[in-house]
Amino acid sequence: MKKHSKKRKNPAKRRAPVGASPGTIFSDPEAAPSKVHLTSYNEQELVEEDITDLSSLRSRVRERAVTWVNVDGLGNENVIQEVAKAFGLHLLAVEDIVHVNQRPKVDEYGDLRFVVLRMPRSSDTLETEQFSLLLGPGIVLTFQEQIGDCLEPVRARLREGRPRIREGSAGYLAYAILDAIVDAYFPLLEYYGDQLEDLEADVLDHQNQETIRSLHQLKRDLATLRRYIWPLRELMSSLARDESGLIDETTQVYLRDCHDHALRLMDIVESYRDVSSGLMDLYLSIVSNRMNEIMKVLTIIATLFIPLSFIAGLYGMNFNPQKSPWNMPELNWYFGYPFAWGLMIAVAVTLLVYFKKKGWLG
């Protein structure tokens, strides 16, 4: 469990100053530098290129059936602004792209569809980045926080010339990208499922603070995942019902499948949350049960020997028998010691019978 990201980001942080004009961009100084990559293709050919001269961007679009412009890193404000200008993005869309920590959603800006969601960056830590996608006629524009993503298989299918994607519209490309992102949650959930199994074994076998901390951490991670995944269903279903013509009917069937995947993700997250709550209860029950057992042993041994020790202490008193016949005559009895033993055995047996009756002996 050590891999869990320690520097959890406060989700309320990194906002524009209160009352600032809407659409103002406050780029994060720690953000990665921006790199623009263009993929342009039709059924016959596919061209990939890194774009450095942003002024040429506008002219490069619509050369072929579908153009995909991907921006990695949000660190260069002017790059973002140039790209935004080239595609006529609304100020509020730009603000949402740059100020990460948006909740997943679809917005409409004229003939553009603006999709924001979180993309998992790893299959065994809860590391995600904000992924923004703009879908226009023949154009897909994507923004990522950092270099590196889970879209390589999509690029491979493009390069290999798979017909469904190469003959498809920009809407199909957008679907392929979103589907890849949604599917990237499955290995992550699988990882958490394995963690849960391990934790369940831990809870049953030994109960210590480490287990509790890991369980708490897991619950927090699942709550965060839930926040990422919950709005995906709404998002996918609203895309699948889009009537603008950007997404053709065939693609909508695929988006419905993607919506179904989002439903399954949610189902899994919910069942994991159930299980983790159940584990917390189980932990408390087991600890409580063990306390009960320990208390029983303590009580039995302590209450058994406390009266015996008292008797032993009693005959350890130094009252002087020579001064008076009242002073501990037992010490001089012929069977004094056996009498003391008898007394102690009688007390012990009485108590054991009592405990037995109470059901504490087994």
Q: State which of positions 292-311 bind a copy of itself (CB under 8 A).
A: 292-299, 301-303, 305-310
Cα pseudo-dihedral 184, 268, 236, 67, rounded to 10: 0
Q: Does residue 18 belong to the site contacting a copy of itself (CB under 8 A)? A: yes
Identity at 214, one-letter amino acid code:
S
C-beta closer to a copy of itself: residue 44 or 322:
322
Tokens (6 digits) for 129: 């980045």
The whole-angstrom separation of Cα 85 and Cα 102 is 22
The residues, any chain, with a CB within 8 Å of residue 83's CB and separated by 6 or more, are 36, 54, 57, 69, 71, 89, 141
C-beta closer to a copy of itself: residue 38 or 188:
188
Stretch 103-142 residues interacting with a copy of itself (CB under 8 A): 103, 105, 107, 109
C-beta closer to a copy of itself: residue 56 or 310:
310
Q: Does residue 312 belong to the site contacting a copy of itself (CB under 8 A)? A: yes
Q: Does residue 7 belong to the site contacting a copy of itself (CB under 8 A)? A: no
DSSP string covering 327-352: S-GGGGSTTHHHHHHHHHHHHHHHHH
Tokens (6 digits) for 237: 């279903």
- For 351, other C-beta atoms within 10 Å of its C-beta total 17
C-beta closer to a copy of itself: residue 18 or 50:
18
- For 264, other C-beta atoms within 10 Å of its C-beta total 14
Residue with tokens 């394995």: 194
Q: Does residue 201 belong to the site contacting a copy of itself (CB under 8 A)? A: no
Binding segment for a copy of itself (CB under 8 A), chosen from 30-38, 56-64, 87-95, 124-132, is 87-95
Q: Does residue 42 belong to the site contacting a copy of itself (CB under 8 A)? A: no
Stretch 161-200 residues interacting with a copy of itself (CB under 8 A): 162, 164-165, 176, 179-180, 183-184, 186-187, 189-190, 192-194, 197
